[in-house]
Amino acid sequence: DTEVTQTPKHLVMGMTNKKSLKCEQHMGHRAMYWYKQKAKKPPELMFVYSYEKLSINESVPSRFSPECPNSSLLNLHLHALQPEDSALYLCASSPHETDVNTEAFFGQGTRLTVV
């Protein structure tokens, strides 16, 4: 199983809603990542978890709150988002974070629209 599974695939939420994006992998990877991709732009790193601890936060606004409940799961909690937060949110995992990174596997993404 070399898949990273993200749910939901599409999400529409209002600016006052609270929602969560979910990501799951069963490859035994110990590093997991959240990326944000705006239309026609490259993915931009948001957060990195290593061994279930947050190791990188790329100055992401607090309305995005990541959580890693165990080594297979990564969540992104959303609250009070703005329309400009509409984007494709990609989850990725790799065997390790601080060691050489041979392969990072990406999920299909959650397409988020904030109205």
Partner 1 sequence: GEDVEQSLFLSVREGDSSVINCTYTDSSSTYLYWYKQEPGAGLQLLTYIFSNMDMKQDQRLTVLLNKKDKHLSLRIADTQTGDSAIYFCAESIRSSASKIIFGSGTRLSIRP
Closest CA to 78 of 31, 26, 33, 11: 11
Contact flag: residue 57 with partner 1 (CB under 8 A): no
Cβ neighbour number for residue 74 with a 10 Å cutoff? 27
- Which parts of 12-41 interact with partner 1 (CB under 8 A)? 31, 33, 40-41
Nearest 5°: the CA angle 54, 70, 33 is 45
Choose one: 19-27, 65-73, 78-86, 99-107; the region binding partner 1 (CB under 8 A): 99-107
Closest CA to 79 of 19, 8, 36, 7: 19
Binder to partner 1 among 66, 107, 112, 114 (CB under 8 A)? 107
Among 56, 60, 73, 80, the residue binding partner 1 under the rule CB under 8 A is 56
Beta-ladder partners of 7 = 22
Q: Which of residues 58-87 bind partner 1 (CB under 8 A)?
A: none
Q: Between 21 and 90, whose beta carbon lies closer to partner 1? A: 90
CA dihedral over 25, 55, 108, 69, signed as positive or negative: positive
Interface ranges with partner 1 (CB under 8 A): 6, 31, 33, 40-45, 48, 50, 55-56, 88, 90, 92, 94, 96-109, 111
